[in-house]
Amino acid sequence: MYYTLPTLGQVLVPVSVYVVAVVVYRLLFHPLRRFPGPWLAAATDYYAEYYDLLKRGQFLFQIQKLHLKYGPVVRVGPDTLHFSEPQAFTDIYTPGSTFVKSGELYAAFNLSQESSLCFKNPHDVRTRRAMLSPLFSRRAVLKLRHVVLGKMDRLVLHLKNYPRGGPVDLHSAFRSLTMEIITGYCFATSYNCLEHPTFRHPFVVVFEQLVNNIWINKYFTTLSSLSMATPIWIAKLIYPGILELLHVKKDIENRIERYLEDESSLQAVEHETIFHHLILPETRDGSIDRSLRPSKESLIDEAFVLLGAGSDTVANGSSTGTFYALNNSAIADRLKEELRQAWPDEDVAPDLTVLEQLPYLTAFIKESLRFSHGVVTPLARVVGPTDAKIGGIVVPAGTTVGMSVTFLHKNPDIFKDPETFSPERWLGPESKELESYLLPFSKGPRMWFGVIIISLAWCELKLDMKLHDITLEEFKDFRELFVPVWGDKRLKVTVGQKA
């Protein structure tokens, strides 16, 4: 018996019929058919992919245009709605929600589903955060402030000794600082990022590259997984920088294996770390419950989640605050005067509790966080197990919903003249109400608020910095790559000694 291969027409006809049937269903019969939005977005996921990949992180800005055209709720994908009103944000992300995370977005991080970032079930997220929260409590931050101060000393010394005349890539400097703080604070180790002569340590660079590739990972998940499984000698030929990432990963793996094999080895660690809380999890009565201990793979993934979350958002906040302070002499002068009065001896380590109480500094930091946003991509949640009311609108179960925090931070009904950097808005009687709309770290605790205070305060007092070759319009533009990523015009400054 002989078999013949199907002709091209025999293949294309059924495929075409199937595609047409899917498009017709999505446009005319889908449960979301009554929600407004462009028909291309309703018909195909390629609408979002076009703006994510080909337009290089511009989907958020396209969503903003869609809301101006269609109103407070827009269908931005076949199964996806995006909202723009504050009440919708609360309805989607409020603690205790039954909505689960959408696997498609979080697959972009190439992590297991057993980390605080990628857990789908809200209960699992709350359990893991409860295990980690003691390390990021106010008491713990104050107890380990010497770790922060030590790193800050290294940054200031490096900036003071930077070759005169050459601009400093301050964004990379802040990223190096926050990477060193998070590794020192959470793991009691250092990868010497601050020692690199131009603050472009390979570990810092490779983490930047991971962020830049996030949408490639999302849409080509299999290729991303294969790249991580590629033998080292091949990876070295393709991208030498990956070796630094693999080196850090191996170091963290070795630490975890040592702690798992011998719990007493945790006692020899310089100070409390995340592994104390994850490997020896405590119950409410203070007893150890090893049944709550995460797997080895989960421990590794959690470490990398903290590396990314603890370094990127804080570096962005620091860069944003510094730019606007240096761009507006009135802001800088008022900030410095308040700091000088509260911190008369610059050679003595500052008291964090004193700095936290400075009204203008606190207002300045809040405005920096509002402008830097934190995570800007809408964090996708799946409605369920039943239909739900979001922003006063009934949404069918199974629908993916989300809202970018930028729609809160730049909402003119909440923040008057939202495009103006104005710390003064946080000094009035309405500041308490505004505080509820400041969510640079989603609904989670602002664990590194004090870190930003110290880093900015220290640099402002000890160094004379001036912006180098960057304007306000150039600095405002960013790409949406889960977090905001600014373009080729990085924040650079010239540094001089104080007179």
Report the CATH number at residue 417: 1.10.630.10
CB 376 within 8 A of CB 402: no
Residue 119 belongs to some domain of the structure? yes
pLDDT given for residue 3 in this prediction: 58
Residue 298 belongs to some domain of the structure? yes
- What is the SS3 assignment for 272? coil
Low-confidence ranges of the chain (pLDDT < 50): 443-447
Report DSSP letters for 346-385, one per residue: TTSPP-HHHHHT-HHHHHHHHHHHHHH-S--S---EE--S
CB 188 within 8 A of CB 271: yes
Residue 33 belongs to some domain of the structure? no
Q: How many folded domains does the chain comprise? A: 1
Residue 73 belongs to some domain of the structure? no
CA nearest to 183, candidates 173, 193, 174: 193
**Structural domain range at position 90:** 79-497
pLDDT given for residue 446 in this prediction: 47
Distance from C-alpha of 112 to C-alpha of 89, rounded to nearest angstrom: 27
pLDDT given for residue 40 in this prediction: 96
pLDDT given for residue 35 in this prediction: 97
What does the H/E/C string look like for 32-86?
CCCCCCCHHHHHCCHHHHHHHHHCCCCHHHHHHHHHHHHCCEEEEECCEEEECCH
Residue 425 belongs to some domain of the structure? yes
Distance from C-alpha of 212 to C-alpha of 307, rounded to nearest angstrom: 16
Residue 365 belongs to some domain of the structure? yes
Q: What is the pLDDT of residues 371-391, one digit of tens each?
A: 999 899 999 999 989 999 999
Distance from C-alpha of 334 to C-alpha of 401, rounded to nearest angstrom: 42
Report the largest interatomic distance among the alpha carbons of the chain, rounded to a whole angstrom.
95
How is residue 285 annotated by DSSP? T
CA nearest to 468, candidates 167, 159, 158, 156: 167
| β-sheet bridge partners, residue 442 | 440
Residue 18 belongs to some domain of the structure? no
CA atoms within 13 A on the CB side of 236: 5
Predicted TM-score of the model (pTM)? 0.89
CA nearest to 410, candidates 378, 436, 429, 438: 438
Cα–Cα–Cα angle for 313, 481, 198, rounded to 5 degrees: 60
Residue 6 belongs to some domain of the structure? no
